[in-house]
């Protein structure tokens, strides 16, 4: 049973006051231009590839200083201007009410038909989510500071005790389901208490995580085991970042041998273009790619049955990833991608089951860790 502990809300209230000041400042700037007979507009930092910079020294992607104006009287921008103001107002209401909403909830809170028209404020949730990310970068505030959360999309088990919103949780005693990683993993929500783990093994999918959990890999090898359901959510990436930077735990990634697995590793390690403004609190330049690798088809003596043919899109994506500046000057990564392309097929971690049900937990990963056989 979870044990309740007390937490202070003073820092949260200070954070909320700072966020409210930013929102009212944004609204004030719009009003000031209107009263001065100038067109109301909002300046938004651009979240595009062209405005993303590679900081080689720090090993992370960062947002540049490019911006775009969102003008009220521009027919191509008026809707986005309205949507931005609408969501900003909703966030102000949430903070004042000391409540939170999901991304889906924010979509519905702002959804209505504009008076006198048949036009809806949002066509779908993707449109709503994009505006919320625009507000994050415009206000210089994290999603958590805007009182918005996303659905849970990740799991953890292992030799660590945490405190989640005052509840003490022993991740060694989470059964077959594990601890569901929340979308908000900031220190005021998640605190680390007792940790004996020596490293974190992050796997791509729940199916693989379940094999490691059932075999109690985390207990035998004194580690923490996480999964992100494919592309890891911001909550999972933030938790991995904190485990690495605050507890000094190495992060090893067990991902598929395909362009998608390579991209997931890239996002964990360097950050992503769309969230470059958050790289400083998400990216883990020291993360290592443990496998599965293109060489494993021969080294592990796998059968033809595990081969999944590369399609044209896979080949195109692989060549794009090879040109990423953080991979371009790394010979081992160039060899890995060329080997996969030469094979003409991709492989999933689950393919190792053809060797033995527990081959990945009892042989593959232990041997790779012992030999320090990974890519970084």
What amino acid positions are annotated as catalytic residues? 108
Quick one: which of 140, 18, 126, 128 has its CA closest to 67? 140
Q: How many CB atoms lie within 10 A of CB 156?
A: 26
55 strand-pairing partners: 60
- Which two three-digit tokens encode residue 7? 């937490």
Q: Among 116, 28, 131, which Cα is nearest to 79's?
A: 131
**Could you report how far apart the first and last alpha carbons of the chain are, in Å?**
40
H helix or E strand, kind and range, residue 161: strand 160-164
d(CA 162, CA 228): 19
How far apart are the C-alpha atoms of 22 and 16, rounded to whole Å? Answer: 10
CA nearest neighbour of 225 among 160, 157, 303, 313: 157
Cis peptide before 28 (omega within 30 of 0): no
**Strand intervals (E) in 34-129:** 41-45, 52-55, 60-63, 67-71, 101-102
* Cross-strand partners of 164: 167, 190
Q: Whats the size of the chain, residue-wise?
A: 376
- CB-based contacts of 280: which residues, under 8 Å, 6+ apart? 60, 62
Distance CA 199, CA 60 (A): 22
């Amino acid at each position: 049973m979870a044990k309740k502990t007390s937490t202070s809300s003073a820092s949260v209230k200070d954070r909320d006051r700072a966020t409210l000041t930013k929102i009212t400042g944004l609204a004030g700037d719009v009003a000031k231009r209107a009263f001065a007979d100038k067109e109301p507009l909002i300046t938004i930092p651009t979240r595009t590839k062209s405005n993303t910079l590679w900081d080689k020294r720090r090993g992370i992607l960062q947002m540049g200083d490019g911006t775009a104006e969102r003008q009220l009287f521009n027919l191509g921008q008026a809707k986005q201007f309205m949507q931005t103001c609408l969501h900003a107002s909703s966030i102000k209401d949430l903070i004042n009410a000391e409540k939170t909403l999901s991304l889906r909830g924010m979509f519905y809170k702002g959804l209505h038909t504009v008076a006198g028209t048949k036009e809806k404020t949002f066509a779908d949730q993707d449109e709503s989510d994009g505006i919320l990310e625009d507000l994050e970068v415009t206000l210089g505030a994290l999603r958590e500071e805007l009182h918005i959360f996303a659905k849970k999309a990740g799991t953890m088990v292992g030799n660590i005790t945490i405190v989640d919103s005052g509840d003490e949780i022993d991740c060694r005693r989470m059964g077959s389901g594990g601890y569901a990683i929340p979308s908000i993993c900031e220190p005021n929500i998640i605190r680390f208490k007792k940790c004996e783990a020596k490293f974190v093994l992050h796997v791509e999918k729940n199916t693989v995580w379940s094999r490691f959990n059932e075999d109690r890999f985390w207990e035998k090898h004194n580690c923490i085991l996480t999964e992100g359901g494919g592309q890891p959510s911001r909550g999972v990436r933030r938790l991995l970042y904190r485990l690495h930077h605050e507890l000094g735990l190495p992060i090893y990634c067990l991902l598929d041998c395909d362009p998608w697995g390579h991209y997931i590793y890239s996002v964990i390690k360097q950050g992503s273009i769309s969230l470059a403004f958050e790289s400083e609190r998400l990216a883990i330049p020291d993360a290592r790619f443990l496998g599965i690798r293109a060489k494993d088809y021969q080294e592990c003596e796998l059968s033809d049955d595990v081969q999944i043919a590369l399609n044209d899109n896979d080949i195109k994506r692989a060549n794009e990833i090879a040109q990423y500046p953080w991979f371009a000057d790394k010979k081992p990564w160039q060899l890995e991608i060329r080997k996969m392309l030469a094979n003409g097929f991709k492989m999933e971690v689950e393919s190792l089951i053809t060797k033995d049900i527990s081959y990945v937990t009892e042989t593959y990963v232990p041997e790779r860790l012992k030999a320090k056989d990974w890519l970084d």
